Amino acid sequence: MKHYPFTKLASIFVVCFLTFTSSVFASDAELMALVQNMQKQMNELQTIVMAQKAELQALKTSGGGKIAMVPSSVEAIPPMSEAEFTQRLSDSTGGANKWLKDLKLSGDIRLRYEAFGLHGNPNSNPTSTTAGYQDARNRFRIRLRYGFEKTFNPEMKVGFSMATGDKTTNGYNTDPISTNQSMTNDFNFKNIWVEKAYATYTPEWAKVGLGAGMEISGFEVTAGKFNNPFEKGSTDMIWDRDLKPEGVYEKVDLKLLDTENFDLKAYLLSMQSVLMETGNSSTATSNKDANLFAYQAGLNPVFYIPGMERPVDALSAISVYNYQNYDNNSNWQIASVSQANGNPSYNTNQLSAKGFNILSFYQEVNFYPHGIPVKPFAEFARNMSNTSGFSSATQNNSMQGGADAWSLGLTLGKLVKKRDWQGSYQYKYIGANSVVGAFNDSDFGGYNYGGTDKAGSVIKLGYNLTDYLTLNGACFLVRPITQRDTTANGMQVDQSVRRFQIDMTYKF
């Protein structure tokens, strides 16, 4: 016997609806008759439902009774275990899944328009043939960076990346502080270089307590060519953000105090880097090699202020950069191309500073009024080994001094996600012999390079169009510090630079 409970229910609903509409005008007797009829139908429906329930119970008890089940042509697939899934994935990828696990790929593409205007040229009627003359310039540049980082376990990882960069002399890239590639040379293909190649070891056994609530919270050793760990406690007055040092560094993270409203952390950092290895040349001796031994210590207090949604996060850092043998034997040249970038030279083989032993102090404070990130920062640096008055053999100017450099700045906002914005202002004063001109901000100056013996302002604005696409603009207003009687560092006497940049950067 077939039953159609849905049809019956629908019929009852229709009957009830018609009954209701017709009973609006019915008399009392007719209304009573309709109610009784509805009660009867309800009782019949209840009887049918009870009968169907009894039949279902009987079928369950008898194992299905006379109901013949139609066999299915599709067999049920049992759920796959995790081990079986892993094995099938390994078989289909040839075992590559083990390597792909914990593999992080990243990179970015940047398109840049850049304009230069030089002012105050001392020549009354300068032309393109005038010595040292630089005319206004417009150029377009690209930057591509792509790499990976593979984590083998919580203690070991390796990384590798490649980047664009101009090839200038004898196949060398003579600009270690830029990954930009200018659009020129009649559609010629662009160069790709090894930007980073490193291995990092972070042993768990190094995390130990020191007593009184203090502990070593982390220890790291990284070797190869890597991101600059000294950027944390410095500005681009000393380190260009494109520079990738080579060698090995060690870092210890310390937790000194941890309370409800105040935390105090610290870190110790040291780096041993190779600058120029010349021992294989026929006239070289072992003492001609140039090296850098760098040290940094930072103190990081975090505390709450009433009325602030987030805690105040400060950083105080002191750094020492000890350059050995960099200033002589032409170790400041790459493929015979000078990297002095404002550091005055005594002759073709030696810089007038006669040594770079730089002491730097850095301070920043991060706080968030009304949820807006605000970061004032400052840095002061002095070359303790500068030999002021060491006369130049080839130049008669006042560039032999300038042992000090300092910078003040303020950053508002932070670029993290879509619609985030960021703006900053920075003033820099960089004496001629204060820092190594080969490694600081390459944009702070003329269109050849940045360097030292310069002062001026930097204004930057950025906006995230999406989570991955950023629009940036920058303005550099730079002047020379000393009065030159010859051209140097791309600028003549009193020749100031106005440099403008518009960038579109896509991260992936």
Highest mean predicted confidence (pLDDT) among 160-169, 205-214, 463-472: 463-472
Does a structural domain hold residue 110?
A: yes
Sign of CA pseudo-dihedral 303, 306, 311, 312: negative
- Find the mean pLDDT for residues 291-298: 98
Regarding whether 156 and 16 lie in a shared domain, the answer is no
Sign of CA pseudo-dihedral 329, 330, 332, 335: negative
Distance, in Å, from the CA atom of 185 to the CA atom of 443, rounded to the nearest integer, reads 22
Does a structural domain hold residue 75?
A: no
Regarding whether 41 and 113 lie in a shared domain, the answer is no
- Find the mean pLDDT for residues 352-358: 90
Over residues 219-235, the pLDDT tens digits come to: 999 999 999 999 999 99
CB 408 within 8 A of CB 425: no
Q: How sure is the predictor about 326, in pLDDT bands with cuts at 50, 70 and 90?
A: very high
Distance, in Å, from the CA atom of 395 to the CA atom of 232, rounded to the nearest integer, reads 37
Model pLDDT, residue 37: 66
Distance, in Å, from the CA atom of 164 to the CA atom of 428, rounded to the nearest integer, reads 28
Which residues, listed in sequence order, are joined to residue 430 by a DSSP beta bridge? 405, 454
CB 453 within 8 A of CB 432: yes
From its phi and psi, is residue 413 left (phi > 0), alpha (psi between -120 and 50) or beta? left
Name the residue among 465, 387, 365, 471 with its Cα closest to residue 432: 387
Write the CATH number for 460: 2.40.160.10
The whole domain housing 12 covers 1-46
Does a structural domain hold residue 62?
A: no
Name the residue among 380, 391, 368 with its Cα closest to residue 304: 368
What are the tokens at 327? Answer: 């200033």
Regarding whether 15 and 121 lie in a shared domain, the answer is no
Regarding whether 132 and 7 lie in a shared domain, the answer is no
More confident call, 134 vs 78? 78
Place of tokens 């190094």: 206
Q: At what angle do helices 28-61 and 5-23 cross, to 10 degrees?
A: 170
Does a structural domain hold residue 161?
A: yes
Regarding whether 137 and 22 lie in a shared domain, the answer is no
What are the tokens at 278? Answer: 């010349």
Model pLDDT, residue 490: 47
Does a structural domain hold residue 58?
A: no
Per-residue HEC secondary structure of 283-317 comes to: CCCHHHCEEEEEEEEEEEEEECCCCCCCCEEEEEE
Regarding whether 419 and 489 lie in a shared domain, the answer is yes
Taking 3-state DSSP, the helix, strand and coil percentages for the chain, each rounded to the nearest 5, stand at 15, 40, 40
Q: Is the pLDDT of residue 168 over 80?
A: no
Does a structural domain hold residue 216?
A: yes
What are the tokens at 53? Answer: 């329930």
CB 481 within 8 A of CB 453: yes
Does a structural domain hold residue 73?
A: no
SS3 441: coil
Q: In the chain, how many domains are there?
A: 2
Does a structural domain hold residue 57?
A: no
Place of tokens 């730089």: 358
Regarding whether 16 and 102 lie in a shared domain, the answer is no
